[in-house]
Structure formats: structure tokens, C-alpha cells
Structure 1
Amino acid sequence: MRAQRGLILLLLLLAVFCSTAVSLKCYHCLDPVVSSCNMNSTCSPTQDTCLYAVSGMQVYQQCWKRSDCHTEVIMNLLEVAKVKFRCCQFNLCNKSEGSLGKTALLGTTVLVAILNLCFLSHL
């Protein structure tokens, strides 16, 4: 009985994670003056990653393809000579640099709590 509950919980978690991958949301702002980006968009099925890139004063936050997360490709597609960037794959993860640490810490804490519940249900 406990094994069945654990399996059901695992399947539920997989369904949640799979459904979020289909409808990834990313911040979508291309404004070098505004430091806080609050606009977001739902990515198309071909865009499986959020991009945060900076080139000079220009900041790019948008949906992106994981296979295009390489310096040369980003510089070419954004038509910039120099770029610092990061790609991530969970909802709204392409926030400005200052808030990334808090988001990652919160996500890790939630994931650990979920995994602990899974293991406790097997005892």
C-alpha cells in the first residue's frame, strides 16, 4: 500500500515537472534603461530555455532554444559583438542577476521538501 502511494506521488511529481516544461514562462524584456523586468511570456514548444544576456548596456531576457545557448550563436542572433549570458530551464528563472540566488535557493528548498515527503511516505 505504501509503495503504491509512493509511486502515485512520484507519477504526480513527474506530471507536474513535465507539464511545466511544455509551458515554460520566461521574463521578456529588451530595455537597457529599466532595471526591473516584470513582463513575461509563455514560450513556444520549440523554445525550451530562458535566456538572460547582457551586452554593454543592453539586457536581453527572453525565451530561447537550449541548443542555441552558446556564445557565438547568441552574439550572432542578437547581433552583438560581446555578451555575457546564462540559460536556465524553469519558470521565470531569467530574472536579473541580483535575484537569481534567492530564486535558486527557494527552488532547491522546495525540491528537498518534496523529496523528503516521498521518502517519509515509504517508511
Structure 2
Amino acid sequence: MDKAKCILFTVFIAIVVFCHSGDAIRCYTCEQSPVVCRTNVTCTHEEDVCLQIRFLHLRTYSCWKSSRCIWKEVADEFHADSFRFLCCYKDLCNKSPSFLAASATAFSITAVTVLWMVYQ
């Protein structure tokens, strides 16, 4: 396989891994969990982001609507005033930092492969 084909193949794999298909997003869903959530669902088409809310030592994971990813909307829905939250746009992105580390690892492997092929 020549260098150009290898590069195209690697780019194709990166696109498949990092791009969203347009289907409904999948999110973790747990209410006030003290541990990492492992339950996930396919969200409705109206719910287009994943949400994670942190209350001290508890976290709530849910499907959410991007237009409601503002502090006041989250506070009103969950009747809270002391929390942090995250809205994200990829499947199962509302888990925990270990998932983000896995995504960064996959990206790093792809980048190193491309660089290796370019400089060979």
C-alpha cells in the first residue's frame, strides 16, 4: 500500500471514530449517583446533548436539549443552586474523565500514525 493510500485510509478511520452519524445521541442516565454511571439510553430527537450535573459528591446524568444548556434552565429543572454542569454533543460524552482520556488516546494514536506515514 503506498503512502497516499495509507494516509487516506487513516483519515477515513479518524472520520469514522470522531464524527457523529446524525442519529439520535446516546447518553448516560442516572439520578444522583455517587459512582460512575453505567446506564445509557438513546435520547429523543428533541434532546440533542448529554448532560452531567455535579452536586458535591453526587452526579446526575441525562439527555438534555442544547437550547436549555444554561445555568438558569438547569437550576430550575433540578431545583438546585449549588452545582456544576456539562453539556456535550457526542455519544456517551457525559460519563467521566476516563471516557475523555480514551478519546484523547484514540486521537493521539491517529495523529502519530499520520505523522509516521508522512515522514517515512
- Establish whether TM, by shorter chain, passes 0.5: yes
Q: Report the CA distance shift for 1:121/1:80 in structure 2 as closer, same or farther (over 3 A).
A: same
SS in 2 for 1:22: coil
Q: How high is the sequence identity, in percent, across the aligned residues?
A: 25
Residues 1:28 and 2:32 aligned together: no
In the superposition, the TM-score normalised over structure 1's length comes to 0.70
Q: Report the CA distance shift for 1:117/1:81 in structure 2 as closer, same or farther (over 3 A).
A: same
Instruction: Output the CA distance in 2 between the equivalents of 1:104 and 1:51.
Output: 15
Do 1:50 and 1:94's aligned partners in 2 also have CA atoms closer than 8 Å?
yes
Instruction: Output the CA distance in 2 between the equivalents of 1:46 and 1:2.
Output: 43
Q: Quick one: which of 94, 101, 108 aligns to 2:104? A: 108
Instruction: Output the CA distance in 1 between the equivalents of 2:17 and 2:24.
Output: 11
Structure 2 gaps of 5+ residues are none
Give the aligned partner of residue 86 of structure 1.
86
Do 2:34 and 2:57's aligned partners in 1 also have CA atoms closer than 8 Å?
no
In the superposition, the TM-score normalised over structure 2's length comes to 0.71
Alignment of 1:1-123 (within 5 A): 1-19=2-20, 22-30=23-31, 32=32, 34-36=33-35, 37-54=37-54, 59-76=59-76, 78-82=77-81, 83-95=83-95, 100-122=96-118, 123=120
Displacement of 1:118: 1.9
Instruction: Say how many residue pairs are matched.
Output: 116
Q: Report the CA distance shift for 1:4/1:93 in structure 2 as closer, same or farther (over 3 A).
A: same
Aligned CA RMSD, in angstroms, stands at 2.8
Instruction: Output the CA distance in 2 between the equivalents of 1:120 and 1:57.
Output: 43
Displacement of 1:81: 4.0
